[in-house]
Structure 1
């Protein structure tokens, strides 16, 4: 993974939600490689422990795994408190966790709607709420929220998910306005179709890949590692003048 060095991330206290697999695992490794004191939350205990073992073998800097269900706001708050206790006040928050389940309109129940929004949108707000008091005291902080290009593309296979992902952009802009006076920046990243193991197991077809490559300017499939450099940039002082922005990383479809 070659992302250059962001000197101000060394020693920074970083928290990543959904950091145990897929894009999240690539982000966790990216911050660990920068020398950041990195904590990540994930619901999958096996994935989280496996990632800690793998990164511990490859780096002197071992991440802290926090096992929690992000639908449980109190568990989220407790995990953030544990990260602060171990690494100091959070200076970089990456809200990455998501659930891109496909669904039919007729099958959506109020319970399904609430579960989907809790994972894809609600946890982002409450994670931000938990870290901002310390960021305000420090007079600085960077928050990176992950949205998706899917909400821009009129896709009909996951409308509850795309509603949440559109909401992430609204949340990002609203909180950037509220927190900017305290020196806290809030930006978003909108990935295109990234070839995580989940995508390959559940959704990838030869026809879908061909269609995607025909639309992309870059004629290669996006990988989780492609999201690391943009996230490091937004987390670091290299983007000190940026807030309320959504960075699209989709190989050139949008």
Structure 2
């Protein structure tokens, strides 16, 4: 199956300003590329300068509009909100926000200190709320908007290798459902996309071993490994006008993990 080049075309995304957190690599980079290929005006932040710069150059060389991007540590809420404001001043009010940034570092219950717990929440939970807070005024000016929060199926499968990550990612559905009605009054949609085990470079390098291969074969209904562009496909749909009546929902892209 071909990657992003095989994505459907959504005319409503052409020229539409889109902001993505954690867009420099992995699933985030696949989404940045997918939106750029749709002709959207893409902005993203990431802490990885080298990967972000390479992605922007690659898209420009492929003939797409180079994305606006900045190095940003999303643990700094003021810096994140400043980047969103700066990007909006250049690209226009954002019609789409994708809260993608996350870090699934492994840890045990016994090893967690209050400082580590706060740091995990500062990456995996807090940025989504404050990014939403930043873009909603612009969406209200536009009269519409789509917010996509990246969740996870890992905690739903009772994975025990990252309790702090599980707490943060389980809260995503609460954020989505808790804001759906007040935002919906202004035709702003908000949904969760929960990926299964996606074969990013990080996952392959750190976690995919022989037992992981067996786990995929045992638990997925579909035989193919999930790729970043598989998640981008669902996000594009939810960002587009084709999903105009979809809100307050969780959409799983996990190859039927059981």
User: Taking structure 1 as the reference length, what is the TM-score of the superposition?
Assistant: 0.98
Question: Which residue in 2 is equivalent to 1:117?
Answer: 121
Q: Secondary structure at the match of 1:182?
A: coil
Give the Cα separation in 2 of the matches to 1:195 and 1:56: 25
CA deviations on 1:170-198 (whole Å, 9 max, x unpaired) are: 00110112211011000010000000001
Are the equivalent residues in 2 in contact too, given 1:194–1:223 (CA < 8 A)? yes
CA deviations on 1:56-103 (whole Å, 9 max, x unpaired) are: 111231111111100000100110011101110010000000000000
Equivalence map 1:31-50=2 (5 Å): 31-50=35-54
- Match for residue 146 of structure 2 among 134, 138, 142: 142
Give the Cα separation in 1 of the matches to 2:250 and 2:213: 25
The answer to whether the aligner puts 1:212 opposite 2:216 as a matched pair is yes
Give the number of aligned pairs: 254
Question: Which residue in 1 is equivalent to 2:82?
Answer: 78
Question: Which residue in 2 is equivalent to 1:61?
Answer: 65
Question: Which residue in 1 is equivalent to 2:91?
Answer: 87
Q: Secondary structure at the match of 1:145?
A: strand
- Match for residue 164 of structure 2 among 140, 160, 163: 160
Question: Which residue in 2 is equivalent to 1:16?
Answer: 20
Question: Which residue in 1 is equivalent to 2:252?
Answer: 248
Give the Cα separation in 1 of the matches to 2:211 and 2:160: 17
Q: List alignment gaps of at least 5 residues for structure 2.
A: none
Give the Cα separation in 2 of the matches to 1:184 and 1:176: 8
Q: Secondary structure at the match of 1:15?
A: strand
Q: Secondary structure at the match of 1:105?
A: coil
Q: Secondary structure at the match of 2:214?
A: helix
Deviation at 1:121, TM superposition (A): 0.9
Are the equivalent residues in 2 in contact too, given 1:18–1:24 (CA < 8 A)? yes
- Match for residue 201 of structure 2 among 181, 197, 218: 197
Deviation at 1:5, TM superposition (A): 0.7
Are the equivalent residues in 1 in contact too, given 2:199–2:225 (CA < 8 A)? yes
Question: Which residue in 1 is equivalent to 2:110?
Answer: 106
Are the equivalent residues in 1 in contact too, given 2:45–2:70 (CA < 8 A)? yes
Question: Which contiguous aligned blocks of 4+ residues in structure 1 show a shift greater than 3 angstroms?
Answer: none
Are the equivalent residues in 2 in contact too, given 1:144–1:234 (CA < 8 A)? yes
Are the equivalent residues in 2 in contact too, given 1:33–1:59 (CA < 8 A)? no
Give the Cα separation in 1 of the matches to 2:162 and 2:63: 38
Structural RMSD (CA): 0.8
The answer to whether the aligner puts 1:169 opposite 2:150 as a matched pair is no
